[in-house]
Structure 1
């Protein structure tokens, strides 16, 4: 079996007496969507923060593309191609769709932000930004103010920004949050195709989306992974049913 693209090995983090991450070991393989599910307070946000570099673990390590990146900053991991989308949108709402993606392309180029005023006139940067918008299906909205987008379109824009980094893996924090049934269905279809560009570690509460998308699922409860397996294996696991899924199984 090929080495994983992204992996945690014995990742642990405590806040006082609360063990938010308890020796978590999981991995993300090329071409797959690996979902992480669990009840509120299970430690999913803490896990994401450690994987992406905004929170240092107490023990264990994070590996990306075969390299130990545990001591690297969030920016360094992003530069290596670890792309994160947030539960709460981090877009510049008063800027246009294209301007948001140009910011991402500028950051990926390594040039200082003070050159942003020139970015729109840089053919290479503009081509990268427009290609990302085309890839997510919102190229026709490029001149629209971001605040005018629907919630689902903003999710697509966040992915477009991430695509300008030429990511090797995505970490997505509840992309379905705030979407209605129809919006969730559309985004599910979009993410299903996105795995061909880069594998996705997906943290999500929408179990319909998880069951439709995931190649594997890890279940996190009180900071521990209690099960990892296929959709079918997780559905019939009695420990998972008791701890989280209940009737959703």
Structure 2
């Protein structure tokens, strides 16, 4: 696994006197799941926003497939092949499950969103949307209003929307949140198979899922990466245990 799909180089971000990201360099390679972990307040969400395009770094570079995308917004990065799910849901709650996914498929095709209602009758877009729902296990909820879904089901729906983009790389911010034990197991199995389609940069607090899925783990503490390595490397690292894993095991 040597092909780098997504990369940050010396990314830094400050909010006044608080340095949320400190010279962060990491990469995501073809076929892998690279987990980003760390205690609350470590700067994970700030870093993900910089990678996804919601926040511009003060310094450093974000690369997607070797191209500098630092100056591009979230939508432009999505069109370049960056699929993402968010810690805070960005779904249209008043729409049905299928409508949300068709909207994702419409955006993936580069069509203006003002045409999304006629797009519901487009058989090709519906097929893409329905396939995505089947893959995440929500095919029986296509006509359900999104507001009626459980928190865990909404996370599954976010993944389905991301799938319609046919991304080159995924960024997932706590996809296991709210799923419960069985839901986490199902999503873990799904993500394990997804990595061969597109690698995943995974931010997650569920350490069972992280240790089951990750090819590599980077540990973020006070905005800086203090270690990167395999699961075995991270488990054995005394600095990581002192900063984070000591609270988990």
Normalised-by-shorter TM-score class: over 0.9
**Alpha-carbon shift at residue 116 of structure 1 (Å):** 1.5
CA-atom RMSD, angstroms? 1.4
What is aligned with 2:174?
Answer: 174
Per the alignment, residue 140 of structure 2 pairs with 140
Alpha carbons 1:152, 1:187 under 8 Å: kept? no
In structure 1, the residue matched to 2:74 is 74
CA distance in 2, matches of 1:149, 1:207: 25
Structure 1 residues 127 and 179: alpha-carbon distance in aligned structure 2, compared to 1, 3 A threshold: closer
Paired position in structure 2 for 1:222: 222
Where does 1:90-169 land on structure 2 (aligned, <5 Å)? 90-169=90-169
| Alignment size in residue pairs | 249
Quick one: distance in 2 between partners of 1:115 and 1:155? 26
Unaligned runs of 5+ in 2: none
> SS at 1:124's partner residue?
helix
Partner-residue secondary structure (3-state), 2:4: coil
Q: Deviations over 1:114-164 (max 9, x none)?
A: 212211111221122122122223223212222333333222211111111
Work out whether residues 11 and 59 of structure 1, in 8 Å CA contact, stay in contact via their aligned partners in 2.
Answer: yes
| CA–CA distance in structure 2, aligned partners of residues 178 and 120 of structure 1 | 30
Q: How does 1:202-241 map to 2 (within 5 A)?
A: 202-241=202-241
Instruction: Quote the residue 2:5 is aligned against.
Output: 5
Q: In the aligned structure 2, how far is the partner of 1:3 from the partner of 1:215?
A: 14
Runs of 4+ more than 6 Å apart: none
Q: Distance in 1 between matches of 2:186 and 2:151?
A: 12
TM-score (norm: length of structure 1): 0.95
Q: Residues 3 and 66 of structure 1 are in contact (CA less than 8 Å); yes or no, is this contact kept in structure 2?
A: no
TM-score if structure 2 supplies the norm length?
0.95
Could you report, residue by residue, the CA deviation over 1:45-101 in whole angstroms, capped at 9, with x for unpaired residues? 110011011111111100101111111121110101101101122212232111111
Q: Aligned partners of 1:193, 1:143: CA distance in 2, in Å? A: 27
Q: Report the counterpart of residue 245 of structure 2 in structure 1.
A: 245
Q: Could you tell me how far 1:247 is from its partner in structure 2?
A: 5.2
- Residue deviations 1:96-116 (CA, integer Å, cap 9, x gap): 111111111111122122212
Equivalent-residue separation in structure 2 for 1:192 and 1:168 (angstroms) = 16
